[in-house]
Amino acid sequence: MRRIVTLLGPQPATVALVLYAPGKPIQRVSLDACMHGVRNSISCDNFGRSFCIHVQSERGMGLSNEADSADIFDLRPEPADAVAHRCAVHVPPREREHVGPSVSSVLFSPNGRVLLANVQIEMSSELRCISALDGRQLFSVRFEGICSAMWLSSGAFEVPEFPALDAAANDRRAAVAVELRDREWLQRRRRQLETEHSENGNGDAQQNRDEIAELQEMLALPEDQLIFQFTCSEGSTLMPTAQEELLGGGYRDLALSFCRLRRLAPSKADALAERLEFLTRRLPAKGEVVAKAKAKAKAKATVRRRMPVDPQNAEALGRRVRALQKKLREIDKLKAAPETLDVLQREKMSSEPEVRIELQQLERQLQLLERPPRMIFDVETEEGLQEIHYHDGDDCYELANTFCQKYGLERGLADLLASNMQERLMPGA
């Protein structure tokens, strides 16, 4: 039986095995126990026993925090579909808030026992050595900056002996416990960590400092914030939320946020939402909190979401301008009899300033599109030759940023493109 490891889109990517043999139908086995964020590359060891999914190109890194990790899998010879998620190489969420970190490269050792990961973090780089056998981090070395790293082979190696494959490993990884924590528990936990830090010295000093800082952030939050502790195989995470957010239907939103953070399947969110709702049933809900939650839920149910108008589509702009003009005429009619208005009509009247501002902006954009451009810039992209139309009054940097976002170009190209446009627009250029 032959096997092909595949990464399936759209992002976040999922992993699947394609199994085939002469004279037998092709089979596909999906590994959907967890989500793996933004991934576009697969690396394998020399023996075909372990593989790693990650982001390879510079264009894919740094655009999303989901791209800032790599996942190691154990691929067994028999049976053909025996594969399990070993571990993930990632950066702590606290460091992601400062700068978009990324796992810029991964490389298996010649003997297949260790994965070398080059992790870019705030103001420095870190080489992490991860055991491909059990997923443990063996050691890490921090440098001011690392451009590249590689293994030096010292001879031939035999296939390493991997520990027995646990068929329930993914299920245990996906198991999550949720508890509601009060301020007293947070203070006790902080004191406990501070004591361990002073007694153990360098042991898990960095990990303790990160957790202490997280607890201090939670203690500094307003009193109306509820703090939930989610615990899974990768550790525990504290997530705050306002009580009125939960009463307004935010149980599933909070559960989905945790699933995205830990790369768990969205289907896990339903059970987590039920647990969150159970934990909050015993809380005394004040009348003001309940009233705000109901008002917010009602507003969320009645507000219609409108897709943004393409600023380069004259037909779409014209339709939106006519719709706003009609809305202003309706508001003028409502002003004639303000004492007979209901709640929705009053809300429509209160939106008049925003409607007029949006109408003014769209009318100006429509006028720019209807007159010929001052200059047309040709830009070569992977999708072919594209054009940027410049009108008097346009901002070159805004045009360049919009163009790069539309065609998936690197952010750094926007400044270069805008500078080139400005030079071409100068008299005598």
Residue-level pLDDT, tens digit, the chain, 429 residues: 788 888 887 777 788 888 888 888 888 887 755 566 677 888 888 888 888 888 765 444 444 445 567 888 888 777 777 777 777 776 555 444 444 447 778 889 888 888 888 887 766 788 888 888 877 888 888 887 777 788 876 666 666 666 665 555 555 566 888 999 888 899 998 888 888 777 665 545 666 777 888 888 888 888 778 899 999 877 888 999 887 777 666 888 888 888 877 777 777 888 888 888 888 876 665 555 555 555 555 555 444 445 566 766 778 888 888 888 988 988 888 888 777 777 777 778 888 888 888 888 888 777 776 677 778 888 888 778 888 888 777 788 888 888 888 888 877 788 888 888 888 888 766
- Verify that 153 and 77 share a domain, yes or no: yes
Residue 211 resides in a domain: yes
Whether residues 67 and 148 share a domain: the answer is: yes
3-state secondary structure of 162: coil
Q: Are residues 232 and 349 in the same domain?
A: no
Is the sign of the CA dihedral 11, 12, 17, 23 positive or negative? negative
In a domain, 308, yes or no: no
Instruction: Assign 66 to helix, strand or coil.
Output: helix
Same domain, 16 and 161: yes
Same domain, yes or no: 194 and 283: yes
pLDDT score recorded for residue 363: 85
The verdict on residue 39 lying in a domain is yes
Task: Centre a 10 Å sphere on the Cβ of residue 182 and count the other Cβ atoms it contains.
Answer: 9
pLDDT confidence of residue 308: 64
Residues 386, 351, single domain; the answer is no
**One domain for residues 182 and 268:** yes
Residue found under tokens 């390493």: 160
Q: Is residue 304 part of a domain?
A: no
- Residue 412 sits in the same domain as residue 381: yes
Q: Is residue 309 part of a domain?
A: no
Full-model pTM: 0.41
Q: Which domain range does residue 385 map to? A: 375-425
> Contact 409/403 with Cβ under 8 angstroms?
yes
- The HSE-up count of residue 75 (CA atoms within 13 Å, CB side) is 27
Structural domain includes residue 306: no
Pair 78, 195 in one domain: no
Tell me which of 109, 133, 167 is where a domain ends. 167
Q: Are residues 88 and 134 in the same domain?
A: yes
Residue 412 inside a domain? The answer is yes
Note whether 81 and 162 are same-domain residues: yes
Provide the CATH number for the domain around residue 408: 3.10.20.870
CB atoms within 10 A of CB 230: 23
State which of 324, 343, 370 marks the end of a domain. 370
Q: Which amino acid is at 238?
A: L
If DSSP states are collapsed to H, E and C, what string results for 210-261? HHHHHHHHHHCCCCCEEEEEEEECCEEEEEEEEHHHHHHHHHHHHHHHHHHH
Residues 101 and 162 in one domain: yes
The CA distances from residue 384 to 39, 95, 376, 409, in Å, are 25, 38, 16, 13
For the chain, the distance separating the N- and C-terminal CA atoms, rounded to the nearest angstrom, is 65
Number of domains in the chain: 4
What are 282's two structure tokens? 């015993």
In a domain, 334, yes or no: yes
Give the Å distances, CA to CA, from 321 to 274, 309, 372: 45, 10, 20
Give the position of tokens 């202003």.
Answer: 328
Distance CA 165, CA 181 (A): 36
Domain limit, last residue, from 347, 370, 393: 370
